[in-house]
Chain A
Amino acid sequence: QKEVEQNSGPLSVPEGAIASLNCTYSDRGSQSFFWYRQYSGKSPELIMFIYSNGDKEDGRFTAQLNKASQYVSLLIRDSQPSDSATYLCASRKTSYDKVIFGPGTSLSVIP
């Protein structure tokens, strides 16, 4: 079992719709979770981090964390074609530990 798992996609949504990206993790000791966006040929860009159960909103993005279910999600509201990218979920135990990435989910927003 991989430590961080994501559906590889591709996930296709129409412009203006909500895109829902999901991630599960296996290590219950994980404390903080990150969502990165990666455009083709570019390096990952941090979108959000979350470490408390519940929702965290930042503009069109909402991260959700459920530690009991070991589940993290990212919702993108009013999806735009510019949101088309690979989204990487990552976890970490403490700030001194390594960040473990999932394989990424490819998102395509159709105009």
Chain B
Amino acid sequence: ETGVTQSPTHLIKTRGQQVTLRCSSQSGHNTVSWYQQALGQGPQFIFQYYREEENGRGNFPPRFSGLQFPNYSSELNVNALELDDSALYLCASSLGGGAIDEQFFGPGTRLTVL
């Protein structure tokens, strides 16, 4: 167990709806990254938050947005869901700023868009 938790575990939505996924970081970690992992592919970087500020974003449209709270927990919001948004959504927390800064993943949220 990494100490990173995510909720919900599974979610089914229909096209056009909106969804919010949540992540609690490992104790002491101030950086959270979100990834989308489609079946059979590696995780794709969505964005990263460091001390409540977004400090990096991957090639995802603006309908993917996020927040990091003062306790360093985080949310990923996806608006206007599309069928291709069906994937495993992973958050990873890290200490931030270290020489290596290992990331530790939560168990993920499996999103299915119908």
Q: Which residues of A contact B (CB under 8 A)?
A: 4, 32, 34, 36, 42-46, 49, 51, 88, 90, 92, 95-104
Q: Which residues of B contact A (CB under 8 A)?
A: 2, 33, 35, 40-45, 48, 50, 55-56, 58, 88, 90, 92, 94, 96-108
Contact B90–A104 (Cβ < 8 Å): no
Residue in chain A with minimal CB distance to B103: A99
Contact B100–A95 (Cβ < 8 Å): yes
Chain A residues whose CB sits within 8 angstroms of the CB of B97 once the complex forms: 95-96
User: Which of A45, A49, A103 touches B41 (beta carbons < 8 Å)?
Assistant: A103
Known: A88-B43, A96-B56, A103-B42. A43 touches B102 (CB 8 A): no
Residue in chain A with minimal CB distance to B94: A95
User: Shortest CB–CB separation between residue B34 and chain A, in angstroms?
Assistant: 10
Known: A32-B100, A44-B90, A49-B100. A98 touches B105 (CB 8 A): no
Cα separation A100 to B58 with both chains bound (whole Å)? 10
Cα separation A102 to B43 with both chains bound (whole Å)? 8
Residue in chain A with minimal CB distance to B108: A43
State the 5 A-B residue pairs at the shortest beta-carbon distance, nearest first.
Answer: A95-B101, A101-B42, A43-B105, A98-B45, A103-B42
Chain B residues whose CB sits within 8 angstroms of the CB of A99 once the complex forms: 33, 45, 92, 103
Chain B residues whose CB sits within 8 angstroms of the CB of A32 once the complex forms: 100-101
User: Which of B33, B40, B48, B102 touches A49 (beta carbons < 8 Å)?
Assistant: B102
Contact B48–A44 (Cβ < 8 Å): no
Residue from B100, B106, B108 having most chain A Cβ neighbours under 10 A: B100
Chain B residues whose CB sits within 8 angstroms of the CB of A49 once the complex forms: 100, 102
Chain B residues whose CB sits within 8 angstroms of the CB of A102 once the complex forms: 42
Chain B residues whose CB sits within 8 angstroms of the CB of A97 once the complex forms: 56
Chain A residues whose CB sits within 8 angstroms of the CB of B50 once the complex forms: 96
Residue from B42, B96, B107 having most chain A Cβ neighbours under 10 A: B42
Contact B56–A44 (Cβ < 8 Å): no
Known: A43-B107, A103-B41. A98 touches B102 (CB 8 A): no
Known: A42-B107, A96-B50. A101 touches B100 (CB 8 A): no
